Structures are given as C-alpha cells and as structure tokens.
Structure 1
Amino acid sequence: MELIGYEICPYVQRCIILLLVKGTPHRLTFIDLEHPPSWFRALSPLGQVPVLKVEDRALFDSGVINEYLDEAFPPRLHPEDPLPRAWHRSWIAFGTACLSSLAALYLAKEERDYLRARGDLLHKLRRLEQILEPLPFFGGKALSLVDVAYAPFFVRLELLQGRHAFYPEEHFPKISRWGKALLDLPQVQDSLVPDFSQRFFAHIRKKGPYAARLFSP
C-alpha cells in the first residue's frame, strides 16, 4: 500500500496520521504538485493529493481514504451506530471548512483578505467551541476520525499563533484543550517531515505576501 502526497498538505497528513494510529504498513511517496510526474494524472483524476494505491486500485480524497482505512484495519475509530457516525462525519466536513478558512488567512495577499479570512475563521471556531465537550478527544476518551481530521489544523494553527497571535485562545478553552491533546500524540508529531515548519513558512512567503509579513519571525 502506497500513499502519494505533498509534504505540507494537511489532507495528506490526515491519512498519514491514521496509518500511524492503525500501525498499517505503507510506503510514502512525496511528489512536486507544481511539476507532478507523468504517472500521477492517471492515478488522480482530480490532480490532487492524497492518493492511496491499494493493489490495482487508486483511492483519492482524504475522507474516502480514511473511511477505507478505518473499515479495513481495526480497531474502528468511527462510532458503530449510524447516528453518531453521521454526526462525526458532519464535523469532519466542518473541519475541512476550518482548514480552508485557515489557508485563506495564511495565504492572504492583502490586509482585507486577511481580515476577511480571520473573521470567518473566528466565526467557525466560536461554533466549534459551543459543541465541544470538556473531554480529551472529540468523542470522549478514545481517538476518533474527527480528531484525525482536525489534527493538521491544530499543527498549523500552533505554528501561526507562535509567530503572530491572531486569535484569543482564552476565549476558546475547549478548543485549546483539544488541540493540545492532539498535538501531544506521537502519531501527529511523526506525521510531519523533519523540516515541516521551514517548508510551511516558505510556502506562505511564496503564496501570501501580506501574511508572509505578518507571520515573519
């Protein structure tokens, strides 16, 4: 089984984390998305990562890949009952929206773009704070696919917040507690390439001129 991705892609990281949590043997192949190899388009109809090669099939979309991994390799992280499972899937979708808002913030080209993205992100975080329980993980004491989906968000949030405090953590105690619990997981730390921070901020400098100034060291 081979996972194909890009070193700083949060959606690839979701899949790496789950593979590590499951202890599933796999090979990891990183590609340059701006100059992908000729064989990549045949595997990924959307031209996006992650892609998981399993036998003669190529799976794409991080949500689809992680659902497959959860069903194929025990123990299950998704709830067994249909309603809680659908609830978890709903908040995974919300986590994807949070990642998009965060990306809009750190890739902002102008101040107005940054302020719009920051407002949108804070609105989402307030909604998330409302539904969280004061527990280590989203579903309680055990890790779930929701936690796996949000971990890349918290990795990037912590790095950005360390450079420029753009959101008031004291107003989000449950989110802060949850983020710390996820960042403390060895599988989350092991899912990052050694020079992740340097690559991440280099990407910001290349793509988001206003954000690059704001989050400069």
Structure 2
Amino acid sequence: MNTKHLSENDTCPEKTGKLRIYSMRFCPFAQRARLILWHKRIQHETVNINLTNKPKWFLQLNPNGATPIIEKDNIIIYESSACCEYLAEMYAKSLIPSDGLTRVRHRMFIDAFSSVTGKYHDLLFSRVDKSVGMPALRNSLKPYEAEIKDKFFGGSEPVLLDFHMWPFIERFAVLEKTLGEKVMTEDELPKLIKWRKNMEDLDCVKKIRKEPEEHMIYLSARLKNELPDYDHDIENDPVL
C-alpha cells in the first residue's frame, strides 16, 4: 500500500497487520525512517498525509501533526528520531553502534545536526545572504568531515547517523541549483563528498531518492505559499 496524500475528509485506510508508516513524500524527516525501512527490507505499508489539510484522525495519532509516525500492533511512535531509533534497533541487524563511546558520539552528532538543517533552511528561505549563509553551512558540516573515517560513519556499513543526515544532503542539490554554488567542496569537505557518493550507491537511497527537479517542484510551491502537488509522479513510487 502506498496511498495518495489523504486530506481532512478522507478516512483512515483499514489496517492490514503490516507495519505502517504515515509519511509525506517530500518530508526529509519521514525520509529518514523510509530509508531504514528499505535498507532493512522491512515489509510495510505507506499512508501519505496532506500536511496542509490534515485528517482529524491523523492528529489523534500525533497531536503535533507531523510525519513520520510508525504504527504496529496498535503501538504508535512519532517524532523522527524516535521512529528511526525504533526501526534501527528492533528489526534485523541494529544500526546503532554497540560500543558505548561510539554510540554516545553518534547521538551527539545526530542531535547537533539540527544546526546543519537550520542553516540549510536559512539559505533556502533567503533568511541570510549566500555570502554569509553558505560559509556558515559548510562550517556546520566540518565536525562531520572530521568524524568520518571510512565509507560510512559506521565503517564499511551505514548506521543510523548516516540515514539521519542523508535527506538534507540530498536536498543540498536544490540550494546549488538555486544559488549557483556548491555546498560541499573538495578543498573543505573532501571526505563528505566521498561519503555522499557511497550513500548514493546504496539500494535504499536509489529506491526513494528524488532528483533536484522533483524537490524543486515541491519547494517552489512552498516558497510561493501555494498548495504543493504532493502526489506528483506518485504512481512511480516503489513499494516493498
């Protein structure tokens, strides 16, 4: 199941017993959870939500009205970090490092990534000039450049931190097209550039990533305060 985006007057689809994710196709926070679902090949169904005109029953699942939400056997988990930790830990091989120090450091970098996303949004919504905002965004990435030592932050295989970061790294291409300047450069962030290529080669990323042009269709509507076309090209979305 991969529904079109349900609105205020739509009913909640009947449950099938599968794990269910309530999502929005262009939401980077929901994409984090979807990446883990696909990486671990967890059978699931997707109920997409129109976040501009939300169903009342959706607000009963998460009073904050945000995606993602994970539902399994009448257990509800919401907030992106909680959903991702649940999927990372509870299904198949854990994506959370077993070493205590590494686990704590990864948690630190996950929590600190809000600084990166904040600077991304400052540039996206023209809150700062790119002459100020672009160096600030690069500087916020430098601790991650210093931390990565292998193909992924987990070594030879990706872990929760990799999937936490990826949706916004994917969206850097939108900034680059809009502002005409690379976010990650070889002279400042060479290891993260290699990491980005390694992430792009993952099957789960290939399955659900969107090209910059697709992100632009959604974001241009947002920037103009227009209703986004949430279901653009939805018939080509993969289903696990």
Normalising by the smaller structure, the TM-score range is 0.7 to 0.9
| Residue ranges of structure 2 left out of the alignment (5+ in a row) | 1-18, 225-240
Which TM-score applies when normalising by structure 2? 0.77
Contact 2:22 2:48 in 1 (8 A): yes
| Residue ranges of structure 1 left out of the alignment (5+ in a row) | 210-217
From 96, 109, 112, the equivalent of 1:91 is: 109
Q: In the TM superposition, what whole-angstrom CA distance separates every residue of 1:14-68 from its partner, at most 9, and x where no partner exists?
A: 0001001111110011111010112110001211111111111211111111111
Count of matched residue positions in the alignment of Structure 1 and Structure 2 = 204
Contact 2:20 2:70 in 1 (8 A): yes
> Residue type of the partner of 2:207?
D
From 25, 40, 63, the equivalent of 2:43 is: 25
> Residue type of the partner of 2:152?
F
2:138 aligned with 1:145: no
CA positional deviation for 1:188: 0.9
2:193 aligned with 1:176: yes
> Residue type of the partner of 1:32?
N
**4+ long deviations beyond 6 Å:** none
CA positional deviation for 1:92: 1.5
CA positional deviation for 1:114: 4.6
d(CA) in 2 for partners of 1:35, 1:27: 21
2:134 aligned with 1:118: yes
SS in 2 for 1:39: helix
SS in 1 for 2:107: helix
Q: In the TM superposition, what whole-angstrom CA distance separates every residue of 1:101-151 from its partner, at most 9, and x where no partner exists?
A: 21221122x6x3555543431220223222322x11012112111111111
Residues 177-192 of structure 1 correspond to what in structure 2 (within 5 A)? 177-192=194-209
Identity %: 25
* Higher relative contact order, chain-length normalized (CA < 8 Å, sep 6+): 1
* Match in the other structure for 1:161: 176
2:143 aligned with 1:127: yes
d(CA) in 1 for partners of 2:182, 2:173: 11
Would you tell me which structure has more helix in proportion to its own residues?
1
Which TM-score applies when normalising by structure 1? 0.85
